């Protein structure tokens, strides 16, 4: 690399080029944490090497970087971690969960006349995306109850090209039978996509069940600290991984180096946090079940949950996730607002999976765009509260819930 002749530069030139002056050399100590590479572009030894770098890999097999939209070292590190964590052949990271979901759907090669079969309880914005982006292109979108016992039968009847499900539904935490769905998907030749945001690879690894693509909102448990928006798609097949990479570069929806760093940092404590989320949630579920102001609790860890046995079979032994929903005895919006406003520790926040406990009221947040009737059909009552149980001391969480539930 060229040496800089900075003392002779005019101020204008100096200001433009000064950031190149401070460099760590191999002798000044290696950092134990990957530095955050903010560079948009990368220099190579000569024009020939640049030509080689444009292909993405060097003859040695090492990654080569040219331009930020095609990848940066922090995003690539995150991709390698996630591909291994999910047991995939590759991963591509995105600037949000929604960008990841969009790219995953594009990667399946949908064309007019093809059919997406999706679970009717999907994350609200995913349903909006299917309806507002794919339907106008001539893709048929069919929403059905894929959390019920007849999911495989529905798949055989519908003969879709793509199947989209979530491991655990929002907000009623219904569990999907991954085994049945993936074998039926293979039977009809459909590409199967599963949103595993609620479970993370700590609880479940869908590729092991035969799923083709696993998507995540990294904004939730991966980051875990409520300070980063990101997404990821992990692929079980090389052809899909290549398609994803191509779309990521074209759409330009990649996460910045700093966001990639924060997610990779969050992942370091994922297993510890998930363990605590799960044990806290089970205790909170039992507590709420006995509370006189609570009508019903939805949590796969409770024996009363209709899919408790399925959850036991699919999820890490004795662990059922950090999310639950419960219904107030007084099934009104006023009672729900009163409860939320009285909370002192748990935050009324429209996200989940953070270190702190968060409550949300689906009729005004995730299921806002549905009519009261549509919500009723999904089983979401006016007294329904979603609770993302945090990693605080569980006694403090329960005390806060108790005082907010008690008039």
Q: Are 84 and 76 in contact (CB under 8 A)?
A: no
Active-site residue, 329 included? no
Alpha helices (H) along 108-237:
124-129, 151-158, 178-188, 200-203
Residues between 195 and 214 that touch ligand PLP (CB under 6 A): 195, 197-198
Shortest approach of ligand PLP to residue 196 CB, angstroms?
8
| Burial category of 107 from C-beta neighbours within 10 Å (exposed 0-12, middle 13-18, buried 19 and up) | buried
* Shorter beta-carbon distance to ligand PLP: residue 36 or 129: 129
The mark string for 102-131 relative to ligand PLP (x by CB under 6 A, - otherwise) is ---------------------x--x-----
User: Could you tell me the two tokens for 368?
Assistant: 């806002």
Stretch of 33-41, 193-201, 273-281, 305-313 contacting ligand PLP, by CB under 6 A = 193-201
Residue with tokens 């928006």: 229
- From the candidates 121, 161, 177, 195, which is the catalytic residue? 195
* Shorter beta-carbon distance to ligand PLP: residue 65 or 94: 94
Among 108, 199, 217, 228, binds ligand PLP (CB under 6 A): 217
Active-site residue, 227 included? no
* Shorter beta-carbon distance to ligand PLP: residue 123 or 209: 123
Q: Are 344 and 398 in contact (CB under 8 A)?
A: no
Phi, psi angle pair for 58, to nearest 5°: -90, 160
Q: Are 116 and 268 in contact (CB under 8 A)?
A: no
Shortest approach of ligand PLP to residue 128 CB, angstroms?
11
Residue number with the smallest Cβ distance to ligand PLP: 97
Among 205, 220, 245, 276, binds ligand PLP (CB under 6 A): 220
Residue with tokens 């945090």: 390
**What does the DSSP assignment read for 251-317?**
HT-PPPHHHHHHHHHHHTTHHHHHHHHHHHHHHHHHHHHH-TTEEEEE-TTSTTSTTHHHHHHHSST
Q: Is 360 in the site for ligand PLP (CB under 6 A)?
A: no
Q: Which residues here bind ligand PLP, judged by CB under 6 A?
A: 96-98, 123, 126, 166, 170, 195, 197-198, 217, 219-220, 229, 231
Catalytic residues: 69, 123, 195, 220
């Amino acid at each position: 690399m060229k040496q800089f002749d900075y003392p002779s530069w005019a101020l204008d030139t100096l200001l433009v080029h000064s950031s190149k002056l401070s460099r760590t050399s191999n002798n000044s100590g290696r950092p134990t944490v990957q530095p955050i590479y903010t560079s948009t572009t990368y220099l190579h030894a000569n024009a020939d090497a640049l030509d080689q770098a444009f292909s993405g890999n060097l003859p040695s097999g090492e990654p080569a970087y040219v331009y930020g939209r095609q990848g940066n070292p922090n995003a690539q590190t995150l991709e390698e971690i996630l591909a291994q964590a999910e047991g995939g052949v590759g991963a591509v990271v995105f600037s949000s969960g929604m960008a990841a979901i969009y790219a995953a759907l594009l990667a399946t090669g949908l064309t007019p006349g093809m059919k997406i079969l999706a679970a009717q309880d999907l994350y609200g914005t995913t349903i909006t995306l299917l309806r507002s982006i794919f339907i106008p292109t001539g893709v048929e979108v069919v929403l059905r109850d894929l959390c019920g016992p007849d999911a495989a039968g529905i798949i055989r009847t519908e003969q879709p090209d793509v199947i989209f499900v979530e491991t655990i539904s929002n907000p009623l935490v219904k569990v999907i039978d991954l085994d049945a769905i993936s074998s039926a998907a293979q039977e009809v030749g459909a590409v199967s996509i599963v949103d595993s945001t609620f479970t993370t690879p700590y609880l479940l690894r869908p590729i092991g069940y035969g799923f083709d693509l696993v998507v995540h909102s990294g904004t939730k448990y991966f980051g875990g600290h409520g300070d980063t928006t990101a997404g990821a798609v992990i692929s079980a097949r090389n052809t899909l991984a290549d398609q994803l990479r191509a779309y990521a570069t074209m759409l330009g929806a990649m996460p910045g180096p700093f966001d990639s760093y924060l997610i990779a940092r969050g992942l370091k404590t994922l297993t510890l946090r998930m363990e605590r989320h799960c044990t806290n949630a089970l205790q909170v579920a039992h507590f709420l079940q006995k509370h006189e102001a609570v009508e019903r609790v939805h949590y796969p860890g409770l024996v009363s949950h209709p899919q408790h046995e399925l959850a036991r079979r699919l999820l890490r032994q004795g662990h059922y996730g950090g999310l639950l929903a419960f219904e107030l005895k007084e099934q009104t919006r006023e009672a729900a607002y009163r409860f939320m406003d009285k909370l002192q520790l748990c935050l009324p926040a429209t996200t989940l999976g953070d270190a702190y406990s968060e409550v949300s009221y689906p009729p005004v947040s995730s299921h806002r765009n549905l009519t009261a009737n549509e919500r009723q059909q999904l089983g979401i009552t006016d007294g329904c509260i979603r609770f993302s149980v945090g990693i605080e001391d569980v006694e403090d969480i329960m005390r806060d819930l108790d005082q907010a539930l008690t008039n």
